Structure 1
Amino acid sequence: MKVVSLSRDSEHRFSKETCDSLVFVKGLGIEGDAHCGVTVKHRSRVKADPTQPNLRQVHLVHSELIPELQNSGFKVEAGIICENVLTEGVDLLSLPRDTLVNLGSQVVLKVTGLRNPCAQLDNYQSGLTKAVLDRDEDGNLVRKAGIMAVVKEGGIVKVGDSISIKIPPEPHKALERV
């Protein structure tokens, strides 16, 4: 399990610029990223209530999603769907809420929920929103666009750093959109 790409953007644009390393700040998010802060920064959530806590400081996506989307004809690569951390070998969507994700030797993230795919995906490329949504065997909606987390311990993360996972004690709480 490892970090295969890192991205950030100081403005609220759809895609983020890839980089070799990121500075994670405890309780805030990623230094230099538009979503960094104690209170919510996502525009639609700011409009609803700008005082709510920022549960979306860091966006993680499993790298295995990229070739799946490419094989369906979408032009996507690292940073395109606004993720901060692209992981390899981690089943992010199956993690329970409050899971601790260790990136490298310093950074600890706490999983808060699922990213809810938004219309910006279709603004980038028609049909992309539908491509990151699926149904399980029971017909329940599956959001494949990654998970969100907050920074519990800060530090520097570099591409290639290892990832380790600490599942919280039971009973586990399923991920919901945040």
Structure 2
Amino acid sequence: MAAALHTTVLAVHRDAEHRFFKLQEDAIELEAGLGVVGDAHHGLTVRHRSRAKADPFQPNLRQVHLISASLFDHLADLGFDVGPGELGENVTLASAPGLTWDALIALPVGTQLHFAQGAVVELTGLRNPCIQLDRDQNGLMAAMLDRDATGRVRRKAGVMGVVQAGGAIASGDAVRVRLPRAPHRPMGCV
């Protein structure tokens, strides 16, 4: 990954309710340390319902959910029809060489995404796909899981992050990826 990684924002989404999908917006506003303003997952402590039920005081490592649009093409090849916002992501990144869905989930913890209007999201981990996927399309949950060459489970449902610097994000905005200092630590589920 010596070459600079960059892409653009394809679409942005938010929803004040805890639903599986998120509504497309012209722009969203990120608030440092809290997440997407007006989104159900906005907050200092965890907002994901099952995680909040287990421990409502744990830090919110899932403030922003990001997916590469190349995942939709991958799922289409598997027979599924999924588009931006339908997997509950806040930010859909345009497909870009070197930053496909599988490259996105392979980035290390601490990777920062710098958005054109000043927002910075630091990646904390992977989104674990949930059974709600099958409510939308039967078999989609299984399609979001895979195994790598060593047999380890790969979760394809995108990445999660926390907001380091607030600001607006809109479709068409440039995104620059900054890797953390080595040694790199692979992302796990958050």
TM-score range, shorter chain: over 0.9
What's the secondary structure of 2:172's corresponding residue?
A: coil
Question: Match of 1:111?
Answer: 123
Number of matched residues?
Answer: 178
Q: Distance in 1 between matches of 2:165 and 2:172?
A: 19
Question: Match of 1:160?
Answer: 172
Q: Distance in 1 between matches of 2:67 and 2:89?
A: 6
The letter of the residue matching 1:146 is: G
Question: Aligned to 1:47, which of 27, 39, 53?
Answer: 53
Cα offset for 1:123?
1.7
Show the 5 A alignment for 1:55-134: 55-88=61-94, 89=96, 90=99, 91-134=103-146
Question: Match of 1:172?
Answer: 184
What's the secondary structure of 2:50's corresponding residue?
A: helix
Q: Distance in 2 between matches of 1:24 and 1:6?
A: 11
Question: Match of 1:145?
Answer: 157
Question: Aligned to 2:35, which of 23, 29, 32?
Answer: 29
What's the secondary structure of 2:142's corresponding residue?
A: helix
Q: Deviation string for 1:74-109 (max 9, x for gaps)?
A: 221110000010112223112100111111231000
* Structure 2: gaps of 5 or more residues: 1-6
Contact 1:133–1:144 under 8 Å retained in 2: yes
Question: Aligned to 1:19, which of 21, 25, 38?
Answer: 25
Q: What is the RMSD of the two structures over their aligned residues, measured on CA atoms? A: 0.9
Q: Percent identity?
A: 47
The letter of the residue matching 1:53 is: P
The letter of the residue matching 1:15 is: F
Contact 2:21–2:88 under 8 Å retained in 1: yes
TM-score (ref. length: structure 1): 0.97
TM-score (ref. length: structure 2): 0.91
Q: Distance in 2 between matches of 1:5 and 1:132?
A: 21
Q: Distance in 2 between matches of 1:80 and 1:136?
A: 25
The letter of the residue matching 2:182 is: E
Contact 2:126–2:160 under 8 Å retained in 1: yes
